[in-house]
Amino acid sequence: MISADDFNAYNKAVADMSDGLAKRVEASILAWMAEHPEASVAECREFAKEAMGGMAQVADDAAATL
């Protein structure tokens, strides 16, 4: 069994990682939208799906180190 301090540290690390990745995805989407102001809703949605999919692998790799 792990200590409460270790458990709390792990939870904080997961939350920090999640927040950081969410910010990266948001920044990526906003930058893409700025470069493609005439994009349709469907095009924006497809880019957002790609951006989130790419970050999923980053999240998997980062989580594995925790």
Task: Report, as an integer, the average pLDDT of 14-28.
Answer: 91
Does 64 score more than 90 pLDDT?
Answer: no
pLDDT at 23: 93
Does 5 score more than 90 pLDDT?
Answer: yes
Q: Look at residues 17, 16, 49, 18 and name the one whose alpha carbon lies nearest to residue 32.
A: 49
| Model pTM score | 0.75
Helix (H) or strand (E) holding 66, with range, is: none
The mean pLDDT value of the chain amounts to 90
Tokens for 31, please give them: 């930058």
> Can you tell me the distance from the alpha carbon of 26 to that of 41, in angstroms, rounded to the nearest whole number?
16
Q: What percent of the chain has pLDDT over 70?
A: 100
pLDDT at 32: 97
